[in-house]
Amino acid sequence: MKKALVASLLFSCLSFSSLAVQAAESMAPTALPAASQAEVAGLIDVNSADAATLQRELVGIGAVKAQAIVDYRQAHGAFQSVEELLEVKGIGVATLEKNRARLSVSP
């Protein structure tokens, strides 16, 4: 009788432990999307961010200006400084200053 009781308790414990492992795995955080690589330490790297990231993360930057930044980068190569954004049509001093703390330039 004791063997049957011990066996059933052991079986119950093993059954519930597998459920706990499955629940823990389903709650584990997922990997960050590749777009987040352009957002290192909360800064947006203008040399690697796509238009959607620029539009989403920067103040005063819509779809047209975000695409203009990407187009400028493709035409002229990587940005050498954040200030070079002023060369992009539609980006003025006010827009740059609103976003300066959010921006970075990778080498």
Query: Which DSSP string corresponds to 21-55?
Result: HHHHHHHSPPPPPGGGGGEETTEEETTT--HHHHH
Are the C-beta atoms of 7 and 21 separated by less than 8 Å? no
pLDDT tens, the chain, 107 aa long? 677 766 666 666 566 665 555 655 666 555 445 444 555 568 999 999 999 999 999 999 999 999 999 999 999 999 999 999 999 999 999 999 999 999 999 98
Query: Of 32, 31, 29, 54, whose CA–CA distance to 43 is shortest?
Result: 54
